[in-house]
Structure formats: structure tokens, C-alpha cells
Chain A
Amino acid sequence: MKVKATLLTMLVLLMACSQVDEHDMARIEESNGLAYRLRYSDVSASLKAAKQALALSEGDPDGKAEALNNMAYVAYQQMKFDQSLHLLGHVHAFSRNQIELLCADVLTMKVMQRIGRGKDFFDARLRAGRRLSRILSEENQLSEHQNHRLHYALTEFHIVASTYYYYLGQDSAARSEIQEASRYVNLDADTTQWLYYQYMLGSGGLIEGLPEEVTVAEFNHLFRVYTLAKANGYKYFEANALQSLSAMIADSVRAMNVLQQRADAYAFLYGEHLRWQTDDLPSPRMQFAAALSRHSIALFRQYNDLFQTACALRTLGEVYFTAGSYHAALASFGKALHLARDHSRSPYQVTPWLAGIHENLSLTYSALGDKASADVHRNTYLDLLDESRQNKELDSRKALLKQEARSEQIQFVLLLLLVVLVAVLAYLYGRQLRNRSRSFEKQVREIASSHESRQALLRLEQLQQESDEHLEESREEGEVAAQRLLAQQQRHILQRTKLSVAYAIIPYLDRLIAEVKKLDEMGENASPRLSYIQELCAGMMVVNDRLTSWIQMQQGRLSLHVSRFSLNEVFSAVAMQQSSFAQQQINLEVPATDLQIKADKTLTLFMVNTLLDNARKFTPAGGKVTIMAHSIENYVEISVKDTGVGLSQADVQTLNDSKVYDPNRIGSTKAGKGFGFGIMNCKGIINSYKKLSALFSGCDFGVESTEGQGSRFWFRLPRVLSLLLVCALSLSLNAMPQRCYELYDSTFAANLQGRYAEAYAFSAQAISEVEAPVDTPLLVSLFNEQAIAAQALGDWEAYRESNAECVRLHRLYSTDGTLASDCQRLEKMTSDSRVLYVLIVLLLIASLALFYRIVLRSRLRHRASLDDIYRQLVAALQSYPQSAAASDAALQGIADHLEQPQMKQPVLKLKQTLAEGMEKVRRTEENIREAEDKTQRQRFEHDRLYVMNQILDNALSTIKHETMYFPSRIKQLADEMQQTGVDAASHRNLLDLTAYYRHIYMLLYEQAQRQTDQSPLRLQVVEVSRLFAYAESNGIKCNATNLKVKGDEMQLRLLIDQLQAVAMANAALEVEQRDSMIYIICSAEEQKLTQEQLSSLFSPQTERLEYLVMRQVVREHDAACGHPGLRLVAENTERGYRILFSLPAAS
């Protein structure tokens, strides 16, 4: 507002300062009026008047501006566009007269439209529009002259815009502009502007309706222009009307319409132009059309308008062309182009106009058969089209800009509203911020009951539950493992018991050998010795019988744990030994396998390990041991191959065929290492598979070896078939057709070689196959080629169609966004009113900044920090308990950061709750780990014991099989010697037999003995009451006690089981302490035992294994406690007998 006021003041001052008197003013006005009126009838006179006005207007800037405007108009009419623009620039530079400035703007628009500078046209139009709305707001203050000038500028403004749109082919926009103009034109006020308006309507494109009606309406407008212009001497409009009429008459259809509806006017015109009819054209109508053009040309020449002369010449050419008089047409077009070329020296080209002439020339040359010239002009035509395309794009922008110009005032109001709105919003936002901060604070205070913390706690609870369950599972698993281990431990005690029975043979054997040796010395007094030998044999036979029956007792019990498993499990367990092999510089190769077998996994692992141990023993550094598996029919053969010292043929035979051999004699004696019982144990295991079921009948064990090169030990176990699914992937490929491009190439080639008919056909085919939005450039090229072909063929209809399509698509495709920024610049253009806007906006910004600085910033910061804290809180809670430690630290960090205790406390409390929960989980997890470790250890021990027990079974069975026969045979020999007497041969025989017996027995016993290297006992303090509770649950009466013993509770339970098994009726347990020993006494009111029974109750000859198991348990305890001489005694009592055993007392 302030700026505007300043401007107005300046204007007033300028006017006050002028020293022009009123007389001069009138003369200036008169000259200017003359120049204005003459501009459409005589350019030169108009220019003269304008110059006169200019000369007078030294002290009158308004008059000067008007004069300059008039001069610029003349320059425009003479196509001196640069001069015109220069003059207009001058006006803009010095004048403050808004109306003259508006006139200058409008004329600038006109010039820019003519020379095809769309962007500059817009600039001018925008300027003019703004100026216009400002002037119209003060319309009532204007003088008559000023009103007149305003009327001119207003009508001109819309008509020029309409022309602009018309030439761009935007008919609707053109129509709406002319509609605007119609509101202001007035025949009485300004005849020239009325003529201009009428002519615009008549020259085509601005009237809607049926073609006949439009033609007639246009004819009417033109006829009106012609008659009025002629009457008033406005040559310019007279000529223009004639030119348009000529084009109309040249069109046979339109001419017919006019003839039918306005026969009178037609006849009048025809009559008037008879004298112009000089051509020899086929029809009178064409003669008439040509005459109209000639008249038009003549008028334009008089008027001295180069541009319009050229236009009229072009119209004449077109008339000739339509009439088929091509040479005449060529001459006309040539003249038009010549005028254009004259003009083209100026920097401003009239592009669309030039393009049209070139197209006309191209067509005419083509019609005359001069293909080369036709092509030259066509190419020029296309190039010019390309230049003028930006007009089109700007046009689309123009609508927007116009709208903007119109809504400036609305914008101002809106801006004010916006200010209020922003203020209100800022206030609301500030309030909301405060509320939000409060709600954040509340959220932080109540974090414990938030969704996130509930979720976190829930997850923690879940985790606790899961780990509890896991612990439960682990414990259950541990329980199972413990049970299984216990079973194996107890079984091992049984095995050791049996082994002790087997051992009982050995002292007899020694005595036997000693007796047999002494037999020789005795001579005839051999009888008592022989009978002692017989007795010893009988004793051994009793022991053998016991052993046999106990071994048989266990047969039929499935002691192998057969399952199906992947061999790779065993192989990968074995592969862990690679590093220990590497330490000895032996390369252990364990290739992966996908075979599955059905066998005892523990024993299979044991066998593989045994074979690997052997291989390692006999392979020197730098050697290689390979473990392999491959399937043979329904079995898998697992073999261990080494590059070691190898075995002799004899050794291989022994290993493969003999059941019993001395393993220490197998293998390299040089190495000083025996072969051990490993192979024998493996063979024993394979045999026990075979005994188990027919499924394992193909199980086998074997050795292959070459001395010095290495050995291969193998065994076979049943295979399990597994299925593999193979998925095949298919790929499909799509090839894009290149046919359209091929067709375009064909079209182009055909056009080049003059085969136009073919080219037309090719292009038509290609066009039908192209996908429009995708391949627009191709389509443009195709239509162009098609137009060229049609032109060459002389098919003008087809040419027009193709060319129109080509131009349309060309414009469509060439639309690009490069002008967007230009238009933005347009919008940003400074203007007076905009300064005001800027001030308001600046004020707004400043107040907003102040508001921000004073109120918002602190609130925002507070909010942001709260927001941040809350986000951190939520993040910490959400990552709970996955990254509990990090979350814990984050919570502590947040609590440290918070100052208000009412916010700090809940966070700390939450943190503590979570940490406590986590600690619980951690403890549970520790327990799980412990339980798992324990389970692992128990499994390991179980496996070890299981293998031992299994091998002991095999070994004891072998002892039984291989040695049972000897005692009876020796006894038989002794019997014979008793009868026949001792001779050297029979003595030798007996000696050999007993020696061999001992050798075999010791060998097999040693194999078995190797499996019992360690006591399976775990000593602990056992409350006797616990043992008694166990006994009571088995139906044995016990008295109360609080004594404690050192022992293995599980094995002691085994002992109690044995007591129960020998089923002492009414058995009762008592306990008493003697010195450092606790005696547990089991007494029974049964018949007393004989002395014989009592003394052999715990000897291998005893009838029940249970007594021996009791002895074994006590014996194990004795050994484990360091041989304190623990007792196990049976003795008669007054009412029956009792068994008592002692254990070390524990404090």
C-alpha cells in the first residue's frame, strides 16, 4: 500500500512539474489521435502524425508515451519488430502512465505473438493483466482520453490473446478470449477495434456450430468488415476481409454454402471484383477467389504491410494450387517467400508463417514432380515446426498464470486469513505442545503401566516360563539319563560279579597246575593227589555251571539299543579327533556321508573309535588314515584304512578266522605295541548283532592288509533307505518383437528409393502395430514418412491426414518440462502489490520467529527431549529381553537424565523389576546349563559303561564257550590215571592240557578284566533311614535310625534288592554301630542254615547269584573306602539266620 501511495505521489509531482501549456497538450492529443485513427488505413500518414506528436511532447510524458506507442504500432505493421520493441522499451523506461504502459504491454504481446516468442508473450501478458486490474479498480477517476486509450488496450489485449491461441490451435481458449473482447468492443466508441473484432470472428475458428452455419456466420462477419472498412478507408481490414473471403470461396463446399445463403452478398462481391479477374482458371468461382486475393494484395501493398502482403500472396497461391494451376501457385508462393526472406534479415523470424509457406512450396513442387525441391522445403517446414513448438507448451501454462493474475485480490484476503490462521495455529500448536509434553510426562510417570512395559514384562514372563519349562525338560532329560546310567551301573555291578565268579576259577587252575606238576614226583602214591585234582576239576565245573546259568539267564533280553541314524553323526563325532591325529602328523580323512544305518549308535561309535585307535597305533608320522562308508546291497560297509605298517598274511588270517587268539602277538613286534583286544571286541559286537535278529544276518567284520603298505578294517551294518527329492526349476524368457522398427526401416528405404506406394503401405502397417504411448517418437517418424509418401503420390487428402497426425504427435511428444522454471520465474516477478505481500509475509515470519524464540523453542525442546526419552524408553522396553543388558543400561541412562523424581522413580522401579526378572531367568538358565552338563556327563558315563557291559557280555560268553570243556576233560584224564596209574605220557598230556587251559583262560579273562578298570561307585554320605525307607517300600521291616554311612546309595539299594530277592521271610533290618563301623543286619525267622551253607553262601559255588551281588557291592565299597575290611557275613541266630554287612560310619 505504501509503495503504491509513493508511486501515485510521484506521478502527481511529475505532472505538476511539467511546463507544457494547454495548447500544446491539445495538439499532441490531436496528432496522437490522428496517428491512431490512420494506423489501419495509411501507415505512413499514421507514422507522420505520431512523429509530430512526439516532437511536441517534450514536456508531456503521457503524450510522448502515446506517440511512442503509436510509432511502435506502425513499426509492427511494417514488420520492423526490433524497432517496435525498442520503442516500447523506451515507453517502459520512462513512462509512469499506467494506461500507456498497458498499451505498450499489449503491443508487446502483439509483437511477441507475431514473431512466435511464446515466453515473452506471457511475460507481457502477465504484466498487462496485473496493470489492467489495477487500472480498472480506479476506472471512474479517468479522463475521456484515458478512457479511450483504456478501451483500446482492453479490446486489443483480448483480441491479441485470442489470435495467439488461434494460431496455436487452442480453439476454446481463443474463443473465450474473443468472448471477453466482445464485452468491450463498441462500434461508436472505436470503429477500428470493432472492425478488428469482427474480422477476428470472420477469419475462422472462433465460431462454433454446424459447418454450413459457421461458414455463413463467418461470411457475414467478413462481409460486414469489408463493407464498413471500405466505406471508412481502413485498407488494412478491407484487405484482410478480402483475403479471408478468397480462401473461403476457393473451398468449393464453403463457397456453395455462401452462395445458397447469401446469394445477394456473393453476387455483390462477384460484381465488384470482375475487373480483378485476369487469370485463366478452370472455373468462374476460382477466378473469383483469385480476384479477391489479387485485390487484397493490392490493398496491402498500398497500405504498405509486408507481412499481410505475403499472407495474401500465399492465399492466392493456395487458390491457384486448388485450381490445379501449379506454376502460378509456385510463382505466388515464391513471391511470398521472397518477401519473407527480405524480412528475415531482421533478428525476429515469423516462424509459423514461414513454415506454412515452405509447406505450400513443398506441396507445389511435389505436384510439379520436382521431388528434390519438394523435399528441401518439407525439411525446412519440419524444422520450423520444431522451433515453434514451445508456444504450445507455454500455452498450457498460460491458463494457470491468468488465473493467478485474476485471483490476486482473493489472495490478499487469503493471505490475511492465513496470517490469522497461522497465529491461531501457532497458539494452538504451542498449547498442544504443552499438553503433549504434559501427556509425555504422564506417560513417563506411568511407564510401568504402559503397553510397552506390560509387553516387556509379558515377554520377560514368557521367557521365564520358557526357561522354567526348559529347565523342567532338562531335568526330566537328566532324570532319564540318570535312570539309564543307574541301570548301566547296576548292570556293571552284575557284570563284575560274574567276572569275580570267572576269576574264582583261577586259584583252582593254579592249584591244579601245581598239583599236576607234583604228580610226577609222587610215584605210586599219586592217588590222593589225583583225587584232589578230580575234586578241583569238579569245583571248577560247579563254578562254570553257575557262570553258564547266569549268562543264559540274561540271554533273550534285548540289551542292544538298535535305532536308525545317520552315519554322519558318528563320522562328525570322530572327525573331532583330526587335530589329535594331526599332532602325530597323521592325516585323518573323514568324508561326509548321507548313508543311514540301523544299529546301536553307541557301539558303532565304539567300533569306529577302536579301529581308528588301532590305525593310529600302527601308522607312522606322515601317514594317512581314512574312514569311509559305502553301501553294498542292503548293508553299509564302514571301513578304516591306514597307510601303516600292515599285517602279515598269517595275522590277517588269525584276525579273520580265529575266535580266540593272543592279541599281543598280532602286529608289528618291533613297534612294541600289542594289538589289544579291540578287534576281538568288535567281532564280539558283530556276533551279538547276528544273534539278535535275521535283520542283522549280513553283518560282518573283516581285515585286509598288505605288510608294509597298510590295512583296511571293515564292518557291515544294515542300511536304511532315504529318499531325495529333486526339484527342477524352469525359466521362461520373453523376447520383445522388433518388427515395428524393421517396418520403419523398410518405409524409410522405400521412400529414399522412390517406391512411394510401398512406403505408404509399410508405414500404414507399422502404424497399426505400434503401441502409441510407448513408441511415440517412432510413430511421429512413421507419420512423417507416410506424409512424404502421400505427397509424392499426389494424394493430398492422405497427405493432410498424415501430416496433421505427425504434427499433432510431434507437439504431444515434444512437451517437456524445461519451461516450468521459467514460469516460476514469471510468478516470482516483482510487482508493486507483491512487495506488499512480501512485507506481510516477512512480518508474519518475523512474528513467527519471535513466537518460536519466546514460546515455542523451549516447549519444543522440552517436548523433543521428553519425546526422545519416551522413544528411548519404548525402544529399551521393546528390545527387552533380547538385549537385556543394553536395555538395562538404557533405562539407567534415562533415569540418570530425568531430574523430576516423580518421573525418575517409576523408571528406576521398572528397571529394577525387569532386572530382577532377568536375574531370575539368568539363574534358571544357569541351572539349565548345569542340568545339561550333568546330563551330558551322565550320558557319557552311560555310553562308556554300556559299551563295557556289552563287551563284558561278549567276553564272558566267550570264556564260557571256549573253556567250559577243559575241567571235565582234565577230570576224565585224572580218572583214567587213577585207574591206570601215572605214566610219563599221560602226565605230559595232562600237563599240556592244563597249561593250555590256563593260557586260554587267562587270555580271555584279561580281555574281560580290561572292561572293568574303574569302580563305578560314587561315595557319598547316606542316611541309613533313606535306605530303610527304600527297603520298607519293598516290604522289609526296618527300625528307625539317624545313623549315617559312607556309601553309594544306589548300589546299596541294589544290595537291598538282593536281600529282598533271596526272599527271607519276615525279613527285618536293624542297624547298629560298632566303633567306626555301622552294621546293617538283616535277620529272618526262617530255618537255620547248615554250617556248609553258611560257609559257602558267598562263594562262587553258591546257588544264588544274589549273594554274590551282595558280596560285589560290599567289595566295591571296601575298595572305594580304601579297604577298611568291610564285612559281609551270614550267621545263624536263635530263631533263624541273619546277614550282616558293615559300612564306614559317616559323621
Chain B
Amino acid sequence: MREIEPLDKETYIWVGRALRTGMYLSFASMSLGLLWWLAAGMPGGQQSVSTQIPLQRLLLELSAGNPLALLNMGVLFLLATPAVTLLTAIITYAAQRNWRFVAVGAIVAAILLFSLALSMK
């Protein structure tokens, strides 16, 4: 069975875009957050940089001018990127009616979710 390049061209484009967008957002949030935190004189002390802000308070803290919220958003973008990339791959394979790889992508997503759920118990 030979899998010819044109079948995967769209997948390359969209999966690449998803991964790059997530990475850029994450990189921008983390690097700007870090600079902001340093420029603001490390509010909360030197160890505050490791503070984890609950998800529901993230936007509120960001609008209140808390640099740690931007850092936390960077972390969120980074960890969401694989899931978004996977979802993009599934959608592009579905658009190509390549059901076999839609199933493979869905299995990866299911395993990922199941593994996370199991680990967090």
C-alpha cells in the first residue's frame, strides 16, 4: 500500500498551523508574562512566579493587571496545543473522508482523555 503525498498535504498545512498558533500564543504569553513580572518588581516575591491561578479567575486576574495571569495563560496555551492539534488532524482527515485516520485520531484522543482521567484519580 503506497500512501501518496497529495493526500496529506492539507493535513500538513492545518496541523502545522494549529501547532504553530498554539506555540506562538504560548511563547508570547510566557515570555511577555515573564518580562512583565520582572519589570513590575516581582510582585508577591521571588517565588510567586510559580503561583498557579485557578482557571475561572484567570481572565479576571489578567484584566486586574496581574502578570502571573499572563504566565498561567501561556501554560494553558502550551498544554492545550496538543489537543487542538489532534482535533485539527481529525477534522482534516474527516474532510478528506479518510475515515481510517479519523478513527486513529479519535482513538488517540480517547486514550489521552482516559489516561488523564485515570492519572488524576
Q: Do A and B originate from a single complex? A: no
Which residues of A does B touch, CB under 8 Å? none
